[in-house]
Amino acid sequence: MHIIKSIRGLQAWRRKHENHKIGFVPTMGALHEGHLSLIRHACKHCSTVVVSIFVNPLQFGPGEDLSRYPRPVKSDQQLCRDAGVDLLFWPSSQEFYPQDFQTLVKVHRLSQRWEGEARPTHFEGVTTVVTKLLCLVRPDRCYLGQKDYQQLLVIKQLVQDLNIDTTIVRCPTIREADGLALSSRNRYLSANQRIQATSLFTALQQGVQAIKQGATNVWAIQSRMQKVLKKYPGIKIEYLAVCDAKSLDQLSQVKGEVVLMGAIQIGNVHLIDNILVKALKKS
Ligand code: PAF
């Protein structure tokens, strides 16, 4: 596995691999089974797999966990090597965002709601870094997890709007045995918080069950989901919503494909999850 830290180095490498089918997995490191499954998807469908590890300061708001975000450098390298990654791109913040850096990429409508409300500059940071990475790596396919569903839609939109010649591939959320979606932030949870954290998935499942039983009134579905989380005084619900799966508009009636999305705060840990579900067809 090659490790390249400089932008010029990556550009030179890319020129030498013009005819390769490149699969790309952008990450912030602290790799877990979720990332590894993205890498496995990329290895299956592409001749050459590139992973980037960059804890992107632009996507963290003031007071968020940028400084304490886990950076297990050696084990991340080993995991990439073992997974069959061809190139690991590991830029420094100074080179990626030099002092006179002035360009931000913003996807307007999709970025403003849900995660965007709680974290107003977050998606601008994500779309700026992802645009830069896609320009550098020029992958045929870029692999992203469904866990960050809004991020996935925002990135799809930016690829479409900016005519970037890359296919965004959605890969399923990887979960612990009790349903908790894997996230690098799970390692911040205490043992007790860890037990409570799984209730976000339970709540979303309750919503899915209601829809599969024919419920269409979103307020009733939401209150069923809220009931699960309200059992835990340590959990603050940031949002629990039933949305159109493409626009992320909040619905009042379930119709077509919907996404049940939730975000909670446990202590100072922010967790998100979602499930996609199709409304029952009227007979
Ligand atoms: O999902 C992540 O890990 C990050 O938001 C991403 C896409 C690597 C951009 O920094």
| Ligand 1 pocket, residue 29 CB under 6 Å | no
Among 141, 149, 158, 147, CA closest to 182: 147
**Ligand 1 centroid distance, CA of 27 (Å):** 5
Q: Work out the angle at residue 59's Cα, subtended by the Cα atoms of residues 38 and 129, and round it to the nearest 5 degrees.
A: 60
Ligand 1: which of 32, 53, 59 to mutate, judged by most atoms within 8 Å of the beta carbon? Answer: 59
How many residues does the structure list for the chain? 283
Do 122 and 202 share a structural domain? no
Question: Which atom of ligand 1 is the closest one to the Cα of 59?
Answer: 10
Do 89 and 35 share a structural domain? yes
Amino acid at 58: L
**Ligand 1 centroid distance, CA of 98 (Å):** 20
In a domain, 167, yes or no: yes
Written as six digits, the tokens of 266 are: 């446990």
**Ligand 1 centroid distance, CA of 121 (Å):** 14
Question: In this predicted structure, what is the pLDDT of residue 283?
Answer: 65
In a domain, 53, yes or no: yes
How far apart CA 199 and CA 197 sit, in angstroms, is 5
Do 208 and 242 share a structural domain? yes
Q: Which DSSP symbol is given to 80?
A: H
In a domain, 280, yes or no: no
Do 220 and 99 share a structural domain? no
Amino acid at 161: D
Question: In this predicted structure, what is the pLDDT of residue 118?
Answer: 85
- Domain boundary at 171, 198, 229, which? 171
Do 76 and 195 share a structural domain? no
Do 66 and 161 share a structural domain? yes
In a domain, 281, yes or no: no
Do 144 and 198 share a structural domain? no
Contact indicator for 246, 268 with CB cutoff of 8 Å: no
How far apart CA 80 and CA 248 sit, in angstroms, is 33
Amino acid at 244: D
How far apart CA 185 and CA 115 sit, in angstroms, is 16
How far apart CA 221 and CA 229 sit, in angstroms, is 13
Do 211 and 252 share a structural domain? yes
In a domain, 283, yes or no: no
In a domain, 67, yes or no: yes
Written as six digits, the tokens of 22 are: 């490149």
Question: Which atom of ligand 1 is the closest one to the Cα of 130?
Answer: 9
Each residue's pLDDT tens digit in the chain (283 positions)?
A: 999 999 999 999 999 999 999 999 999 999 999 999 999 999 999 999 999 999 999 999 998 989 999 999 999 999 999 999 999 999 999 999 999 999 999 999 999 999 999 899 999 999 999 999 999 999 999 999 999 999 999 999 999 999 999 999 999 999 999 999 999 999 999 999 999 999 999 999 999 999 999 999 999 999 999 999 999 999 999 999 999 999 999 999 999 999 999 999 999 999 999 999 999 887 6
Do 149 and 30 share a structural domain? yes
| Ligand 1 pocket, residue 146 CB under 6 Å | no
Among 275, 269, 265, CA closest to 243: 275
The count of structural domains within the chain is 2
- Residue 151 is part of a domain; what is its CATH number? 3.40.50.620
In a domain, 177, yes or no: no
**Ligand 1 centroid distance, CA of 28 (Å):** 6
How far apart CA 90 and CA 53 sit, in angstroms, is 5
Do 101 and 194 share a structural domain? no
User: How does DSSP assign 98-161, residue by residue?
Assistant: -TT-------HHHHHSTHHHHSTTHHHHHHHHHHHHHHHH--SEEEEEGGGHHHHHHHHHHHHH
What's the whole-model pTM score?
A: 0.97
Question: In this predicted structure, what is the pLDDT of residue 71?
Answer: 96
The residue range of the domain holding 236 is 184-275
- Residue 254 is part of a domain; what is its CATH number? 3.30.1300.10
Do 165 and 29 share a structural domain? yes
Do 104 and 193 share a structural domain? no
